[in-house]
Amino acid sequence: MYAQMVKSEGMKSLEEMSPEERAFQERIDANEKIEPKEWMPEGYRKTLIRQIGQHAHSEIVGQLPEGNWVTRAPTLERKAILLAKVQDEAGHGLYLYSAAETLGVTRDELTEKLLSGDMKYSSIFNYPTLTWADMGAVGWLVDGAAIMNQVPLQRTSYGPYSRAMIRICKEESFHQRQGFAIMMKMANGTPEQKEMAQDALNRFWFPALMMFGPSDADSVHSAQSMAWKIKMNTNDELRQKFVDETVPQAEFLGLTVPDKTLAWNEEKGGYDFAEPDWNEFFEVIKGNGPCNEERLSARQKAWSEGAWFREGLTAYADKAASRRAAAQMAAE
């Protein structure tokens, strides 16, 4: 299976590596963490910037579909909980941008790449959140899928990314539970509320499966990323785990997973399930999803309207630095 999915061209065997590359790979194989100022292959650095940057953008863009519901949450308590969750996502974005900055790229550079379309963010945030039940489905399925992917990333080989993941995972578990709590309330509510919960599950099931990335046969980066322990599992492995954990939760809620082919496979000890529509996935990541334009224009607006504030912060930091330098000179 591993050999089948090898698409990361240019992957070298230990014998083909330079002494530096070999020493680096041996550290990875011994599960040592790589820290910012240490030597690393250029491809390792670039792959991390791509993955961590995309992850950071996803956290920030991910605030938009949920922020949309803060003013419309049904009770004050739900409003406070949702607000806290949306704020957590901003925090996750910040830890991740900081981790990426240790690799020699600035947060502004990463943001500009997001806005120009040179960098991606998770496909899931290009789907609309139409009803309050969608806040349940996002927490339950989207944060649930995110946790499935991020728990193994706590052991990723790059120190700052791994440490950011530890904190993020703690918060994501709270997010997943708040989503499930909304789903429980809706699924046990009036017939209309149960119908809303089912409709949210119907719309978010396949997009949630897409969050794990293309099937292993089409995943261009997996082989090299796994050799470097940037990724700890293949996309299909994590998707399978997610389905196996989520189906019993849907049954508990009394809801139906919108997949007629879903069946327990005793032999593999997991469910057989339908693949998402991969054409739709590739269209969404090319920028043609239902909300791509809306999401990017919201980020564009925030970026241009925040320019005066960023300039103010830089001017203040420069002034403070020159004041400190002058005080130091005077003291010497």
Contact residues: ligand BYC, CB under 6 A: 50-51, 54-55, 58-59, 62, 89, 120, 122-123, 142-143, 146, 149, 210-214, 219-222, 225, 231, 235, 285
Smallest gap, in angstroms, from Cβ of residue 311 to ligand BYC? 28
Distance CA 30, CA 301 (A): 46
CB-nearer residue toward ligand BYC: 40 or 60: 60
Ramachandran class of 31: left when φ > 0, alpha when ψ lies in -120 to 50, beta otherwise:
left
CB-nearer residue toward ligand BYC: 160 or 213: 213
Distance CA 241, CA 165 (A): 19
Asked if residues 96 and 102 have their Cβ atoms less than 8 Å apart, the reply is no
The residue sitting closest to ligand BYC, measured at its beta carbon, is 62
Smallest gap, in angstroms, from Cβ of residue 280 to ligand BYC? 12
Smallest gap, in angstroms, from Cβ of residue 234 to ligand BYC? 8
Distance CA 211, CA 191 (A): 30
CB-nearer residue toward ligand BYC: 231 or 241: 231
Q: Which of 130, 131, 124 is nearest to 89 (CA)?
A: 124
How far, rounded to the nearest angstrom, does the alpha carbon of residue 16 sit from its chain's CA centroid? 34
135, 137, 157, 263, 320 from 78: Cα distances, Å: 10, 15, 38, 35, 42
Distance CA 159, CA 36 (A): 8
Smallest gap, in angstroms, from Cβ of residue 130 to ligand BYC? 17
Smallest gap, in angstroms, from Cβ of residue 213 to ligand BYC? 3
CB-nearer residue toward ligand BYC: 59 or 259: 59
CB-nearer residue toward ligand BYC: 202 or 215: 215
Rg over alpha carbons for the chain, rounded to the nearest Å, is 22
CB-nearer residue toward ligand BYC: 211 or 250: 211
Smallest gap, in angstroms, from Cβ of residue 284 to ligand BYC? 7
Asked if residues 35 and 20 have their Cβ atoms less than 8 Å apart, the reply is no
Smallest gap, in angstroms, from Cβ of residue 88 to ligand BYC? 9
Ramachandran class of 10: left when φ > 0, alpha when ψ lies in -120 to 50, beta otherwise:
left
CB-nearer residue toward ligand BYC: 27 or 221: 221
Q: Copy the structure tokens of residue 6.
A: 């090898």
